[in-house]
Chain A
Amino acid sequence: MRRAALVLAVASLLLVAAPAFASGAAVDATGPELVSSDGALDGSTVRFTGEVISEPLAGGDGHVWVNVLADGTAIGVWTPRDLAEGVEVFGRYSHTGDVVRVTGVLNETCEAHGGDLDVHAQHIEIIKRGERREHPADWWKLGAGLAGLLAAYAGWRRMRRLEEGSLSDRDDPRLRQ
């Protein structure tokens, strides 16, 4: 009975503690903090949230690159291909990308990747699925453009008329080339 209680206690302790172990070492940071920590975060496990803005790009060695826009600063994330499989939508004009929470090791000057600042991902969690971006069309712009073209046409016509009218001016030496 006592042994069972002990096992239960240890098990529950582990259960409670497990998430803490998994994420306790990770430092939460914003994108700008990641690129300007000046060595403070270099080599440590960091966690940040941002929007995916690239399709998975070849990273070699069964890995891909996923660029994540975090608080206005985009970070290159080098991740095993399977971790990035859940990412479906990347951000561009037509779409807002998936919002992901990335946990991984920050390398300010990554020796494996020619000195790039990158994060080697250990875990990628999808927070929010990306969606289409709406871009309502402002039709007044077309009106302004057409008005401008009309004005330009009128100007061009006037120039042609001036040219024909000034044919008699050709004697003027200043007009000659």
Chain B
Amino acid sequence: MELRFHSPYRGWVTGLLTELGVFFGFLIAMALLALVASWIA
């Protein structure tokens, strides 16, 4: 809970990099899902 009152400005670089990591990971996972689905069909 304490975390919510920390300043989000200081950690913006790590925050941005974390987000980019999550997005890329997600895109790769979705790409694999779609490819597996099209391969099965």
* A and B touching (Cβ–Cβ under 8 A): no
**Chain B interface residues (CB < 8 Å from chain A):** none
Please report A residues at the B interface, Cβ cutoff 8 Å: none
